[in-house]
Amino acid sequence: MATRLNPGKDDSYSAKDIQVLEGLEAVRRRPGMYIGSTDVRGLHHLVYEVVDNSVDEAMAGYCTHVDIVIHQDGSVSVQDNGRGIPVDKHATTGLSALETVMTVLHAGGKFGGGGYKVSGGLHGVGASVVNALSEWTVVEVSRNGKVYRQEYARGKPQGDLKVVGESTNTGTMVTFFPDAEIFKDAEMDAEILLTRFREMAYLNAGLTLRMVDERGDLDQTFYFEGGVASFVRHLNHNRNTIYPKPIYITKETPGAMVEVAIQYNDGYTEGVYSFANCINTVDGGTHLT
């Protein structure tokens, strides 16, 4: 018979001891499971998740501009001119599609083949996790000739989706304020964000990405018609290249599209960068040989 390790403690263990975390409560209880950490990297991850959704619209061919603004109070706005998050009623949840995306984990248009052929985020947790880890979030959608708006506090809707105006444009704007209860001492580093957005612009030829930091005087726009070939030229801009133009190869087959750009220089250090669906695969993978 086994010896009890804590003989003085209550050994009762029943169904009442089993906790069930509903909705986005699990995200707030264990944020590291969803964004990796609650330091500055996790804080940046919130921004990346929202921007990735806009870039997915660009990869699908529906978005040409994405604007990112860090406001003086620390909140962040991401606005695009894509199709706009759907606002009609979702058959499974009974909520609007917008509220479903913002409040239900694993809800999104990227699991099947209908919404997106290519996507940087496939797990349907991006927008809802950002919402859960923000003190407040405001989403405005321009779609169907109208402007829709809904507000949230720590992941919970603060009222129904409302029509607040009319618009001839389409697109989505998400503004969120990271929760200080989660990110206690973290502060966004504009230069790190800028590096990520520069890469995104290189990987999506023809997409305009603008970043503004109202805490200082940063206002920078990225637009590269040459795509990954322009990226290679940027990496080699301070080096002596063997030939003037990068070798560029592209191929599309059912279910996959590949772009490769190569340019040799007279240095001895090799630089190889690989991306899958606009995500930097720092550890390589089957796409890198």
pLDDT grade for 255, boundaries at 50, 70 and 90: confident
**Residue indicated by tokens 């997106």:** 116
Mean pLDDT of 170-179: 97
Inter-residue contact 263 to 273 (CB < 8 Å): no
Kindly tell me the burial class for residue 256, based on how many C-beta atoms sit within 10 Å of its own C-beta (0-12, 13-18, 19 or more): exposed
Residues facing 77 on adjacent strands: 69, 175
pLDDT at residue 191 tops 70: yes
**Structure-block tokens of residue 78:** 């991401």
| Alpha-carbon span 262 to 131, nearest angstrom | 40
Residue 26 half-sphere exposure toward CB, CA atoms < 13 A? 12
Average pLDDT, the chain: 87
Q: What is the pTM of this model?
A: 0.84
Helix, strand, or coil here: 113? Answer: coil
Please check whether residue 134 is in contact with residue 177, taking contact to mean a CB–CB distance below 8 angstroms. Answer: yes
284 compared with 216, residue with greater pLDDT? 216
- d(CA 169, CA 166) in angstroms, rounded, equals 9
Q: Which two tokens stand for residue 214?
A: 């109202």
pLDDT digits (tens, 9 = 90+) for 149-166: 999 999 999 999 999 999
How many CB atoms neighbour CB 208 within 10 A?
Answer: 17
Quick one: which H or E segment has residue 234? helix 228-235
pLDDT of residue 186: 83
DSSP 1: -
Tens digit of each residue's pLDDT (9 = 90 or more) over 32-79: 888 989 999 999 999 999 999 999 999 889 999 999 999 999 999 999
| Domain ranges (residues) in the chain | 25-222, 228-280
* Residues 6 or more apart whose Cβ sits within 8 Å of residue 269: none
CB–CB of 266/240 below 8 Å?
yes
3-state class (DSSP) for residue 102: helix
- The domain defined by 25-222 folds into Heat Shock Protein 90 (3.30.565)
Confidence of residue 120 (pLDDT cuts 50, 70, 90): very low
Tokens 């490769």 -> residue: 260
Q: Dump strand ranges (E) for 159-207.
A: 162-166, 171-178
Average pLDDT over residues 258-262: 92
The pLDDT, as a whole number, for residue 283 is 79
Of the pLDDT bands very low, low, confident and very high (cuts 50, 70, 90), residue 14 is low
